[in-house]
Amino acid sequence: MPKRNSKPIRGIASVRKRAKELRQQATPAEKILWEKLRDRRSLGLKFRRQHPLGSYIVDFYCPAVVEIDGEIHRYQGVNDQTRTDQLEDKGCKVIRFWNYEVEHHLDTVLDKIAENCDLPSPKVDRRTCPEDSEGVGDEGNK
């Protein structure tokens, strides 16, 4: 289990603006998953989509961070791992799925999300940014 850090996480104004843009430009896989997760429909858990955490924007957030990876992620493995490590250092559990998995195996994806979301939610406050993630962000490439 990831270690808990009492330092809160927040969204910087420019990151919040980019998150809003990403919500309006959702990929087909994100739209499919959001229809199942929104309003506590499938799992009974409250999810947020394109949610700012520090200088990152995560695809879906609950007690776990759910990332949906498109083709661009095949070429940015090191960046994805750094991002995952930093989020886990802040107490978040990160789960990744490929677009194909969401589009063709949605029930399995939902089962894996449910298995990983029975953790207590980390203390996350979008108003206070951790020092170690300044300047490191998600460009929103899918």
pLDDT in tens, 24-50: 999 999 999 999 999 988 778 889 999
- Mean pLDDT, to the nearest integer, of 117-139? 45
Rounded Cα–Cα distance for residues 69 and 114 (Å): 19
pLDDT for residue 76:
74
Rounded Cα–Cα distance for residues 107 and 139 (Å): 29
Domain span at 37: 13-130
* Residue 8 covered by a domain: no
* Residue 21 covered by a domain: yes
State how many domains the chain has.
1
* Residue 61 covered by a domain: yes
* Residue 35 covered by a domain: yes
* Residue 58 covered by a domain: yes
CATH number at residue 43: 3.40.960.10
Q: Is 97 helix (H, G, I), strand (E, B) or coil?
A: strand
* Residue 1 covered by a domain: no
pLDDT for residue 78:
75
* Residue 6 covered by a domain: no
* Residue 136 covered by a domain: no
Whether residue 81 is predicted with pLDDT greater than 80 in this model: the reply is yes
